[in-house]
Structure 1
Amino acid sequence: MRTLRRTIAAVLFAAVAATAVTTPATAGTPPAGRGSLVSATPLATYDSPARVRDLLSAGGFADPITRYGVSLQRLVYRTIDPQGRPAVASGLLVLPLSTARHLRTVSFAHGTSVYRGDAPSVGEDTFLTGPAISFASAGFAAVAPDYLGLGSGTGPHPWMDVRSETSASLDLLRAARVFTARQGTGLDREVYASGFSQGASAALGLARALQEGADPWFRIAAVAPVSGAYAMRRVEIPAVFTPEVQPRLAAAYMAYLLTSYDRLHDIYRDPAEVFMPAYVGIGDLFDAGHPGPEVLAGVPDTVDELLTDGGKALLRQPNDRFAAALREADSVCEWAPRVPVRLYFSPGDEQAVTGNTVACRQSFATHGVRVPPVDVGVDTSYSGMVHEGSELLAVSQIVRWFAGL
């Protein structure tokens, strides 16, 4: 496990409900400067399809489709925080080196990170940048939000916060439209949304927001989430008390979940009620300022070693504030998409267990929508984990679907 991002780049949960950020399509312009561009920084250029193919293949991405070279930019832009106050965030924009003056757009949301340096616009790992590069090399304009508190953002990351993950994704689309217009390139109204792990729920949340008219320009075209934890209360939390979830990662995820939600929703009075004495201060590790290996070193081997009986009870029987927050997170499959949706997964995922995909399908079915699952197979060569391998296997399949190949 070379970084916590690769293993915690994982699961759960971004949950990006649209209700918190929806504005009527008749509004005409984004509200109060949201999506305005603060800065754009060139990062890298891969000037031929062959160079892109070499990069993606070396990063473990299966069967990449490379038609164009690509250029990478870091965009810093204005958005809002979980309380709706003005904030600044960053994200990655990747453009094809083509002569096209009008581009379809893909938003790809990354998996769980604990360290602000493990974000698409600042990280050097192709696991972070590869999805956006893959879509751009196929001819799309591709954006990858860092989320609040990661990348060039400040403060702790509000992990799994519906409002900020949706608004950060939407406002990056707006900033990308501003940037590309200055380059003489227009972005299509239609947006294709995808994401891995935490970003799987984020993609569904962005799709719902766009369908409900959150932006006067952009519309959702299709959605392809990969290996998400779409049912935290019903599926993922119960699974961390079983061998289904790798025990050390189960402890890390639950520490992140509880400390993040307490910051946002005040779900317990005192950490000592929830965490064992040796881990009462574990929330300090999840401030986005500690690299993944340092965080992993501070996490116990099991949930039982991490939590008091009260902490376990809080997960199994959430109090009112915690339950409301979990309902919001689990709502990403509780709507009726009017566009195609496919749920990509790897069987035997030891982080976002497969029951999440089953539950998401069932939720969509109750809303009258049949959503097919796509088994991408299993690849553990990258990190030794099924979970991370699902991104590497799924991305090219999604590129082909979005491109109509």
Structure 2
Amino acid sequence: MRTFNRIIAAVLCTAVAAVALAAPAAASPSSPTARPIATYETRAEVDAVLTAGHFTAETNRFGVRLYQLIYRTNDAHGRPTTASGLLVLPINDAHHLRTVSFAHGTSVYRGDAPSVAVGDTFLTGPAITFASAGFAAVAPDYLGLGAGTGPHPWMDVPTETSASLDLLRAARTVAARQGVRLDREVYVSGFSQGASAALGLARALQDGADPWFRAAAVAPISGAYAMRRVEIPATFTPEVQPRLAGVYLAYLLTSYDRLHDIYRDPRDVFTADHAGIGDLLDASHPGEEVLAGAPESVDALLTPRGRDLLLNPQARFAAALREADSVCEWAPGMPLRLYLSPGDEQAVNGNTTACRSSFAARGVRVPVVDVGVDTSYSGMVHEGSELLAVPRIARWFTGLA
């Protein structure tokens, strides 16, 4: 999940991002296409970009080149569709690279995705960090974001997983055209929504979803891993920032209704003043429009029936939440660390505790890494956890590689 401030800032797309949105979206290539979108020739240039974006530059070694990839994947119903993502390659003489996949946090607007929001270092900084450390790095935009079409299926782990896996395959093809072979090992990370996506991808790779790639290590950051048991109940308390709680619950209900038909009419779950909020959450409205139509609290958003649906989910909604929460219900065979900042006011820390307990119940002891707190970027703990964790993860992945 991303902060209130970040949603506002993310809508201020640069001209570069606007071009990226317009040009390739209509394409449906049978093989992936790549478009150069930025180059930072030297380590010093990378340092400057990351430092300006509040990332530390301690693991940087190389300049990097950024590409937008357009590739084929499947939608939530298994139908072919087009997606986009970011590929970042180090500028060096290596012909074999290991890959890092980094999945971004919540976005409400399709212009707020790594391969199109080139000027937003919060979105591109993780991939730049890993590539400058010597990895190939990919960052999926997810379905419906970036050059994708239609609404984004928020917190839908199956499509987050498939979009991430298909981006890895596309990156392998594109890198090979440049004489670079992507090795089998994939180091997987992600922030907030992307933390669940990272665990979904790692699980799929362990289960043999691709004949080439395998997960070498996993490092999710500040995820909502226990939506039903932890995150949803927390949104009804002061533990989650009130206005953000309303936006996220509206996004969850709207997205899951599109996928799973969980209510008959929006007026059954949303109050009269906000019955149309789902129309704003179709990925075509900038964040400022979404926020203008969002309530100041959960109480102002939900009818009694909507509140009951969230706190006592039944049938299809309960099944969908079980699927989302299953990202910690497997036994990883690779190194795994969970990263957090204490006092997270969006993806509350209880999610990480629950995730660690789920792994422990399956015989896997997973360390939790407290990265401290940095609110200097946006004023919130949650977002700072990405800025603090990514350099640490880059060091860890480099040591493992």
Is TM more than 0.5 here? yes
Cα root mean square deviation, aligned: 1.5
Does 2:125 correspond to 1:130? yes
2:95 maps to what in 1? Answer: 101
Checking the alignment, whether the CA contact within 8 Å between 2:32 and 2:174 is kept in structure 1 is: no
1:179 maps to what in 2? Answer: 174
Cα displacement string for residues 67-115 of structure 1 (whole angstroms, at most 9, x for unaligned residues): 0000000000000001111011000000000100000000000000000
1:188 maps to what in 2? Answer: 183
Instruction: Give the drift of 1:336.
Output: 0.1
Amino acid at match of 1:209: A
Instruction: Give the drift of 1:190.
Output: 0.6
1:207 maps to what in 2? Answer: 202
- The whole-number CA distance in structure 2 between the counterparts of 1:83 and 1:98 is 41
2:22 maps to what in 1? Answer: none
Checking the alignment, whether the CA contact within 8 Å between 2:35 and 2:67 is kept in structure 1 is: yes
Amino acid at match of 1:43: I
Provide TM-score, normalisation by structure 1: 0.92
CA change 1:221–1:36 in 2 (3 A) is farther
Checking the alignment, whether the CA contact within 8 Å between 2:33 and 2:174 is kept in structure 1 is: no
Runs of 4+ residues over 4 Å off in structure 1: 5-8
Checking the alignment, whether the CA contact within 8 Å between 2:8 and 2:288 is kept in structure 1 is: no
Checking the alignment, whether the CA contact within 8 Å between 1:5 and 1:111 is kept in structure 2 is: no
2:7 maps to what in 1? Answer: 4
Amino acid at match of 2:78: G
2:386 maps to what in 1? Answer: 391
Secondary structure class of the residue paired with 2:372 = coil
Does 2:226 correspond to 1:231? yes
- The whole-number CA distance in structure 2 between the counterparts of 1:36 and 1:93 is 18
Instruction: Give unpaired runs (5+ residues) of structure 1.
Output: 9-33
Instruction: Give the drift of 1:64.
Output: 3.5
Instruction: Give the drift of 1:319.
Output: 1.7
1:29 maps to what in 2? Answer: none
Instruction: Give the drift of 1:292.
Output: 1.0
1:220 to 194, 215, 220: 215
CA change 1:35–1:198 in 2 (3 A) is farther
CA change 1:134–1:83 in 2 (3 A) is same
Checking the alignment, whether the CA contact within 8 Å between 1:36 and 1:178 is kept in structure 2 is: no
Checking the alignment, whether the CA contact within 8 Å between 1:233 and 1:326 is kept in structure 2 is: yes
Amino acid at match of 1:4: I
- The whole-number CA distance in structure 1 between the counterparts of 2:29 and 2:201 is 15
Amino acid at match of 2:218: V
- The whole-number CA distance in structure 1 between the counterparts of 2:46 and 2:29 is 29
2:36 maps to what in 1? Answer: 42
Secondary structure class of the residue paired with 1:37 = coil
CA change 1:195–1:220 in 2 (3 A) is same
- The whole-number CA distance in structure 1 between the counterparts of 2:158 and 2:324 is 10
1:76 maps to what in 2? Answer: 70
Instruction: Give the drift of 1:3.
Output: 3.7
- The whole-number CA distance in structure 2 between the counterparts of 1:195 and 1:5 is 21
2:310 to 287, 292, 315: 315
Residue correspondence of structure 1 range 301-340 to structure 2 within 5 A: 301-340=296-335
1:111 maps to what in 2? Answer: 105
CA change 1:6–1:392 in 2 (3 A) is farther
Instruction: Give the drift of 1:62.
Output: 2.8
Checking the alignment, whether the CA contact within 8 Å between 1:249 and 1:351 is kept in structure 2 is: yes
Secondary structure class of the residue paired with 1:139 = coil
Amino acid at match of 1:92: L
Identity of aligned residues (%): 74
1:297 maps to what in 2? Answer: 292
Checking the alignment, whether the CA contact within 8 Å between 1:149 and 1:157 is kept in structure 2 is: yes
Does 2:217 correspond to 1:197? no
Provide TM-score, normalisation by structure 2: 0.93
Amino acid at match of 1:157: H
